Structure 1
């Protein structure tokens, strides 16, 4: 049964990836057609065409390798200017001799693009569009992924709720274990306590698992106010403070004295703060020795965009540090070095995680569905950020090219110089090929790592 559930999870993610890629290309297709560009092909995947059909002037289909997609737009490369004749036009030409391999690459790309032209295409080519329209077309794909990500994260955030620490007590410690000794204690012997340990303030005050704290030092404590409660406890070290809690529907009153102890410094995102050497920073604060019960709490709609922004920042940080991250993945794949669970993964890794989520018995069906939806949302946020990298052949490269053209024309007009014309991105083909090869190599390394040393979310 677990194998079947694993396969179902993988298939769900395969469909989600194809769906995300398809809508990404729709994001390019719709504005391209709206602006009059002829689009002869809309394809999901690469390689040999498996299935296709034609509607109007566009062929729609699927190819053998479903790891991407594209739309073919007429006139992506502007023709070379014939500078050899007086009154030269922008008509495409073929050079009888090339000044080098790179120039020949550009000429061949222009020639291939020119061969796609049909009568009536003169004003339907991509490069003749105003800059803002070209930017809209190229932004359409990433924007579609962003919208999918917002919808998926919104469904989880508002519909299923996010794991949230609550004021309900999950565990209570009978003693205060000094910092750094937690891993050395055997919890099966006297609950891990020694005679020399200070008693746990929460335990001594009568709190037990299942109780819900309702007020601290006279201030009411709501169900999701755990962070506020923790901050109040940390700031009242050594002070006797009144506390109320609810047990089985009955409210009880007590007093509690937070124990002054050394604890790790935690930032606003709940992460450990470290010093330059990587060691955890500590501070003396109040501690009462109890843990919070985590519940899925539905969030307001206003929490969706901040949640999306957090993911965008996280993916951006990975992209900016991609060379180092990929080096770490490669090292882990070919050595005993552990894999960074927060590092980049391939579609194979995403599918494997989806399978693990579906097959595990550690979480309920609602959490499985929410996790899969969240995974799809995170995938689309990653596609959004990655496609905006300002390098060809990615969408961000075309956007930067259009912006550069706009700036170049602005200064030409400002200094009363001739219009320099569209930016010839065909000249960037050598770099484009280098980037494409690099992306293929990166994908191969990630796929290999996801097979031999996969990231596992359940240990």
Structure 2
């Protein structure tokens, strides 16, 4: 069932984004009087089609893209027979270069608008929930990656790239993870220490075995929900208890408590807990996996801020363009050899895994908004067969006053298709390889 939900979310997200992207091209083309022969979401074989006026609207079985067929345009269909005839007034090639440029930018513009609208709507509806930096008063817990970077459990992060930390979530910001010469400033033993962010940190975080936060806020905790029949229930633990010690050692922090349970897996322990202001001693049996059988309730005070519609729009735009900024920084790291493309580039399988096997509207729209901006960015790349390739040639035509020949455009389109097929093949193969191994 999880796989069905993953695939369903992927198809729904891509259908929305591809449909809107191609709609941007179609509406711009029709606005300038160009004939649109076909509007397709998905690739053949055909599931459904219906012709209205001059345009056939089609739904394809392969939901990994779509296209708009505009008369007189060299595109991915490679249908060049019509180009051998004299240009007609309704054809793409007979229109001024500035109109053709707007048509090719139409899909990208719509995807950018879609991303901004989604992020603005989420900000307006849900507001912002965050952990104020001052609430992480006990410092951080550093896992293996965090320790290799230079963090120590108990460090208090006070700044990122020299900017004072206000929200703990900014520790994971793209400026920190993808920025050049990025660094954290921490307080340790009364002194301030700078910790440099390694260039390959994102690679490490993308590994399956290490797909987690490298530092997390250190926290005290209460006993939350107790599983029926568990060792916690048998020991007499109650929801709301505060664990103070385990076998006489301080265990008020959850990371310390977890470590002690692991060290005493399969053994009997003695705990001191605080219940309604009074200390109580309890004995408990730790199972073979180092668990007692309860859910912890972290003692962290998150803050929530609501935004008006007027505030949400610029914040949504900031978040949307932050995705493009992160992509540019990510590509820069790949080209500089600081990031491994096998860990940075993903295809449909990886996207489906990010959507996850549980449907949540906030997560779905957050990821769909991100993908809308990624789609806009990728389509703007100056690769023939992508919108950016057409934009590149049209910009050359506008600046130089000379139009590339149809033969040149046809050959460029073929080269671009080969590049795109290779990139798609690499992404899918990498997805399969990463999933299996």
TM-score normalised per structure 2: 0.60
Q: Distance in 2 between matches of 1:71 and 1:38?
A: 11
| Superposed displacement of residue 305, structure 1 | 1.6
1:172 partner SS: coil
2:385 to 374, 379, 393: 393
Using the alignment, how far apart are the partners of 1:455 and 1:164 within structure 2? 35
Aligned to 2:105: 139
Counterpart check, 1:348 vs 2:349: yes
Structure 1 unpaired stretches of 5+: 79-107, 185-191, 194-199, 203-222, 228-233, 238-257, 266-271, 279-288, 331-339, 359-367, 410-419
- Residue 380 of structure 1 is matched in structure 2 by 372
Instruction: Report the equivalent of 1:113.
Output: 83
User: Per the alignment, do residues 324 and 43 of structure 1 end up closer, same or farther by CA in structure 2, a change over 3 Å counting?
Assistant: farther
What residue number does 1:26 align with?
23
Which residue pairs with 1:100 in the alignment? none
Q: How does 1:277-288 map to 2 (within 5 A)?
A: none
Relative to structure 1, is the Cα distance of residues 312 and 162 closer, same or farther in structure 2, using a 3 angstrom cutoff? farther
* 1:316 corresponding residue in structure 2: 328
Aligned counterpart, 2:419 = 438
Find the counterpart in structure 2 of residue 65 from structure 1: 62
2:276 match? none
TM-score (norm 1): 0.58
> Aligned partners of 1:293 and 1:112: how far apart in 2?
66
Corresponding residue number in structure 2 for 1:261: 191
**What SS does structure 2 have at the residue aligned with 1:40?**
strand
**Aligned counterpart, 1:81:** none
Q: How much does 1:325 deviate?
A: 8.1
* Count of matched residue pairs: 314
Could you tell me whether the CA contact under 8 Å between 1:168 and 1:293 is conserved in 2? no
1:328-352 Cα shifts (integer Å, max 9, x gaps): 344xxxxxxxxx3xx1211221112
| CA distance in 2: counterparts of 1:432 and 1:326, whole angstroms | 31
CA distance in 2, matches of 1:112, 1:36: 18
Deviation at 1:438, TM superposition (A): 2.2
Three-state SS of the structure 1 residue aligned to 2:72 is coil
Of 50, 55, 68, which residue of structure 1 is paired with 2:47? 50
Alignment partner for residue 130 of structure 1, among 71, 93, 96? Answer: 96
How far off its partner does 1:77 sit?
4.9
Contact 1:77–1:426 at 8 Å: present in 2 too? no
Structure 1 residue 49 displacement after superposition: 2.2
**TM-fit CA distance, 1:313:** 0.7
Deviation at 1:399, TM superposition (A): 1.3
Distance 1:379 1:433 in 2: 26
How far apart in 1 are the matches of 2:38 and 2:47? Answer: 14
Following the alignment from structure 2 to structure 1, what is the Cα–Cα distance between the partners of residues 199 and 418?
A: 39
Aligned mates of 1:317, 1:177 — CA distance in 2: 28
CA pair 177-375 structure 1, distance change in 2 beyond 3 A: closer
Deviations, residues 303-360 of structure 1 (Å, cap 9, x unaligned) = 2222112111112233456667899344xxxxxxxxx3xx1211221112212454xx
Deviation (angstroms), 1:36: 0.7
For the Cα contact (< 8 Å) 1:27–1:144, is it kept in 2?
A: yes
User: Compared with structure 1, are the counterparts of its residues 437 and 167 closer, same or farther at alpha carbon in structure 2 (3 Å cutoff)?
Assistant: closer
Higher gyration radius (CA)? 1
- CA offset at residue 48 of structure 1? 2.5
